[in-house]
């Protein structure tokens, strides 16, 4: 006796595949602790590039605002890393105060180098580590026009394109979903242990 015909087997295979995929996208990734789900509570005042639920254990909350935001005060508030001055100075100022390195950690600050395009450098806070070459960052004032300048950008994908996988050459995903030009960076400034434990 045949339980399923050819059409029934195809339908059963589709149902099984759907269940497997649903499980993949609704459970946490054991390596990153990141759950991929639809983002139901989007705030129109921020740009959310990747729809990924993020661990918030090492990120301080930041109240919504319509004010023009610079990257430095935003990164300082969200990470709890108390460094002042232009973004390009953070790496040097962190030397004797905070640990620094080339491994992304949630809550750490990614410090970009000063360039012709980034005259003041740039800083962004790591919101999730996806794999060895990809992270998501929360940042302010990244972009080239009035839609992106001065605004908060949440969950923006960043990929490491450095030859040694040391995060010294980066590309960020833009609002149209492609990775743009390469930017140089110093690396990551890590939160003090008391900040990490308090959050």
Q: What is the pLDDT of residue 151?
A: 83
Report CA Rg, the chain.
20
Q: In this structure, how many other beta carbons lie within 10 angstroms of the beta carbon of residue 99?
A: 14
Three-class SS state of 17: helix
- Structural contact between residues 65 and 85, judged by C-beta atoms closer than 8 angstroms: no
Q: Which residue has the tokens 């195809």?
A: 10
Phi-psi region of 80 (alpha: psi -120 to 50; beta: other; left: phi over 0): left
Pairing relation of β-strands 109-112 and 183-189? Answer: antiparallel
Q: What is the pLDDT of residue 32?
A: 34
Q: What is the pLDDT of residue 144?
A: 73
13 vs 18, 24, 102, 134, CA distance in Å? 9, 17, 44, 32
Burial class (CB in 10 A: 0-12, 13-18, 19+), 128: buried
pTM of the shown model = 0.70
Pick from 161, 180, 164: nearest CA to 172: 180
Burial class (CB in 10 A: 0-12, 13-18, 19+), 120: middle
Q: Which residues contact 9 (CB under 8 A, 6 or more apart)?
A: none
Q: What is the pLDDT of residue 10?
A: 55
Q: What is the pLDDT of residue 47?
A: 45
63 vs 8, 38, 66, 74, 77, CA distance in Å? 53, 22, 10, 10, 10
DSSP 121-168: -EEEEEEEEEETTEEEEEEES-SSSTTTTTSEEEEEEEEE--TTSSSS
Q: Which residues of the chain have pLDDT under 50?
A: 1, 3-4, 12, 15-56
CATH assignment of 34-198? Answer: 3.90.1720.10
């Amino acid at each position: 006796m045949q339980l399923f015909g050819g059409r029934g087997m195809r339908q059963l295979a589709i149902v099984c595949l759907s269940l497997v995929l649903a499980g993949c996208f609704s459970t946490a990734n054991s390596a990153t602790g990141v759950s991929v789900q639809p983002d139901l509570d989007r705030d129109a005042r921020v740009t959310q590039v990747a729809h990924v639920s993020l661990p918030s254990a090492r990120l301080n909350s930041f109240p919504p605002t319509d004010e023009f935001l610079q990257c430095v005060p935003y990164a300082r508030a969200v990470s709890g890393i108390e460094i002042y001055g232009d973004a390009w100075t953070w790496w040097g100022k962190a030397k004797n105060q905070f640990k620094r390195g080339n491994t992304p950690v949630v809550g750490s600050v990614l410090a970009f180098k000063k360039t012709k395009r980034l005259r003041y450098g740039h800083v962004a806070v790591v919101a999730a580590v996806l794999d060895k070459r990809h992270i998501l960052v929360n940042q302010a004032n990244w972009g080239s026009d009035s839609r992106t300048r001065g605004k908060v950008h949440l969950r923006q994908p960043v990929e490491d394109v450095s030859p040694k996988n040391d995060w010294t050459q980066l590309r960020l995903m833009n609002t149209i979903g492609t990775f743009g030009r390469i930017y140089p960076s110093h690396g990551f400034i890590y939160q003090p242990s008391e900040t990490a434990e308090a959050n």
